[in-house]
Chain A
Amino acid sequence: MAHAIEVVVERESANDADGTVVEIYLQPGSPVKKGERIFDIETSKAVQEIYAPADGFLMHSLTLGDNIDLGGAIARIVADLASAAAAVATPAAPQAGTAAPRTGLPRLSRDATALATQYGLGPADFDRDLVTATDVRRRLNLEPPAPKAVQAVPTMQAPPVAARAPVSANVKPVAAHKRDEIEFLSRGAGASMLSVLGAVVGYGDLIRDGEGFFERKIVDIVAFEASRLMRAHPKMNAAWRDGGVELHRSVHAGVAFDNDGRLLVYGIEDADGLELEDLQDEIMEGFKKYARNKLSLKELTRATFTITDLSATGVDYVLPLLPNGQSCIIGIVNGGRDGFALYLGFDHRVTEGLAASRFLAALRAKVQSAIAMLYIQTEVCAFCDGAHPVGKGLLRIAGSGGMDVLCCQTCWVEG
């Protein structure tokens, strides 16, 4: 709020921390001239006369007999009525002896506010009382979740262990043999719970072009097919949480965008129920928002698995790292002459290599057949019986009987 000047009551004696309002000369909203007497405040030693420090409109919420803290602001003078309205909404310093009003909203530190503002977040986006910059980064999935307390030390009034927040009912503890395996893997040289499988997707020598945004890409097809496969492979759409496996209830496909700037994952809501065209629209919409820096927190955090497409960079291997709260990430890279390769990163605590390889094999088959269906579908020349990709080299001509028939360029030229 611009141009607000605080009316401060000086603390004139070391013996007094507070005073009493014994006279109010101007009501809230009144115009006031600099030097005009506005309040009388009584302390143990004297009555202080308070004069306006500036011209403007006086904003306060005092009534006679109120106890106020000395040395703090008790009212504001605003330059115009528009800011006066704002000043009414945010009164000056709270009166002494009054408990801080419970706003019900979280309070953000300065660093947290700066970061949250950058991502278009506000207090309502957090469910903690006191939000630090670390909390904001965690909300944006830019930082791993809080580690467990170092040790369970009794507090002065030790809460019973059972009083801890219950683990989500969604989380299913893993079997003992799986726990042993996790323990075993965590002590290995890799000491990683991430495992990666790869599969090449044949694309033949046919190139998907003329598709605008998706030219020479298969990210939409992979997102589409993977989302639908999640119904049969729920552990790929899951998370390791609190020592158990949490199966996500919805399938929100995350598509990673990195326009040589920030890497963000845009979550496409309920992707398993979308038709391919709708999903393509979603991806393009997400990319536009990403480019304009307009992705909402919800869009950035809801993904239940992720697809990262590096095929345009020409690399042919990727070891995709799992975002927090997910058990599956699919990296798409260049597969050389054959087309593309898919690399599946998965959380070995949540699922097993064999199950993951079945998922990947199914995904490859689905993507292959989708490509074949959508883009390598062939049509046959009515004259030479030669197969050609749809839309490639076949002309629609009027055949005998008035029916349309297809004719390849060779046959057409040869007449």
Chain B
Amino acid sequence: MQTAFPDRALTTPISEGAITGVGVGLAVAGNRPMVEIMFGDFMTLTVDQIVSNAAKFYHMYNQAVTCPVVVRTPMGGRRGYGPTHSQSLERLFLGIDNCLVLSPNALIDIPRQLGAIRRIETPAIVFENKVDYTMRPYKVPEYYKVEIGSAEFPTVAVRPERVEPTVTLVSYGGMSRILADALLRIFEETDLVPELIVPISLHPIDLGPIVESANRTGMLLAIEEGPTFAAFGAEVLAQVSEHAARPIQLGRVGAQPMPVPSVPELEDMALPSVGRVIETLRGMKKV
């Protein structure tokens, strides 16, 4: 980047607060900066700049100032990086007024997912998943098709081509690709026909496609890589139960509420897996 755009890639202090602060300043001054935080775990150090400055300026300065700063950062485990480089902290950043939270996935190409980011005037945090960087293009399983929604940051659906789904899976980011690759296994082992709904915009939530699917299946499971308490899945469940046309059976799967271990076997146990999803769906079916 620095070679290709020597005047557009800036060197900053090694301080996430300072890096973000520089970005916020550039944005207020009329630029469209993209702040890169190399590990999402250190997003905790950017919170003051995002919450108290970037997200507030528009309202504090009588809607005369916008702050279109984009902070992008990788999250997620499954690489043996241990407790401080493997977390999924999205839930700490959800619900900040006037701050978009986006999470691209490895299902469709990135320009289609994030192209609109050049046009928005609000601050945005883009949570990527480091495992997604290694993924080859998604091959949709037999009997399934990919549909891309019409929202600015479109929700992606992997749905059965010719049969009605019987369960809605909602997930985002790295977890969504794991599920998208396992749809036939989930079908075979649960006897449920899953439809996967993958929003890119986590805040605000693109609720339409999720509720639409839940209305048809009557059963929804939200799956995320981080812990489930007060997280994206919890918000999805709450909003679906508020807006669905009929009672929906709801469930959540996420990480164990503990630091992410370094030892691969323990990390596998701590993070959500396809096996856990299947187990949870079987349990929901019995009810």
Contacts and interface: CB of A to CB of B under 8 A. Distances in A.
Given A103-B142, A129-B161, A97 B136 contact: yes
A117 B37 CA distance: 55
Given A99-B139, A153-B215, A157-B147, A146 B164 contact: yes
B205 to A, nearest CB: 15
Interface residues of A, number: 34
Given A146-B164, A150-B246, A14 B191 contact: no
Nearest to A11: B264
Interface in B132-158: 134-136, 139, 141-143, 147-150, 155, 157
Interface in A66-101: 96-101
B188 A107 contact: yes
Given A132-B193, A150-B216, A156 B139 contact: no
Contact of B136 (A18, A101, A112, A155): A18
A363 B134 CA distance: 74
A156 B215 contact: no
B46 to A, nearest CB: 26
A134 B187 CA distance: 13
Nearest to B156: A156
Main secondary structure of the interface of B (DSSP, over half): loop
Interface string B35-78: 00000000000000000000000000000000000000000001
Interface string B170-185: 0000000000000010
Contacts of A155: 147, 212
A151 interface: yes
Contacts of B141: 100
Interface string B197-233: 0000000000011001001101000000000000000
Contacts of A14: 78-81
B190 interface: yes
Contacts, number: 85
Nearest to B245: A151
A150 B216 CA distance: 7
Point out which of A100, A130, A132 has the most chain B C-beta atoms below 10 A from its C-beta.
A130
A99 B148 CA distance: 20
A38 B131 CA distance: 30
Contacts of A103: 142
A102 interface: yes
B1 interface: no
B188 A110 contact: yes
A156 B210 CA distance: 10
Given A99-B139, A150-B245, A150-B246, A109 B134 contact: no
A153 B187 contact: no
Given A149-B164, A153-B212, A155-B212, A132 B192 contact: yes
A150 B161 contact: no
A375 to B, nearest CB: 52
Contacts of A108: 188
A108 B189 CA distance: 10
Contacts of A150: 215-216, 218, 245-246
B163 interface: yes
B166 interface: yes
Nearest to B244: A150
A396 interface: no
Given A99-B139, A107-B188, A130 B216 contact: no
A129 B150 CA distance: 27
Nearest to A155: B212
A151 B136 CA distance: 38
A112 B191 contact: yes
A188 interface: no
B160 interface: yes
Contacts of B143: 107, 129-130
Contact of B216 (A97, A102, A149): A149
Interface in A1-50: 14-18
A96 B136 CA distance: 9
B8 interface: no
A114 to B, nearest CB: 10
Nearest to A127: B162
Nearest to B218: A150
18 contacts: A16-B134, A17-B131, A17-B135, A18-B136, A97-B136, A98-B139, A107-B143, A107-B188, A109-B187, A128-B163, A132-B166, A132-B193, A134-B191, A146-B164, A151-B215, A155-B212, A156-B148, A156-B155
Given A151-B245, A153-B212, A156-B212, 15 more contacts: A14-B78, A14-B80, A17-B131, A97-B139, A98-B139, A107-B184, A109-B187, A109-B189, A109-B190, A110-B188, A128-B162, A129-B143, A132-B166, A153-B216, A156-B155
The 5 A-B pairs of least Cβ separation, nearest first, read A14-B79, A129-B143, A111-B191, A109-B191, A156-B149
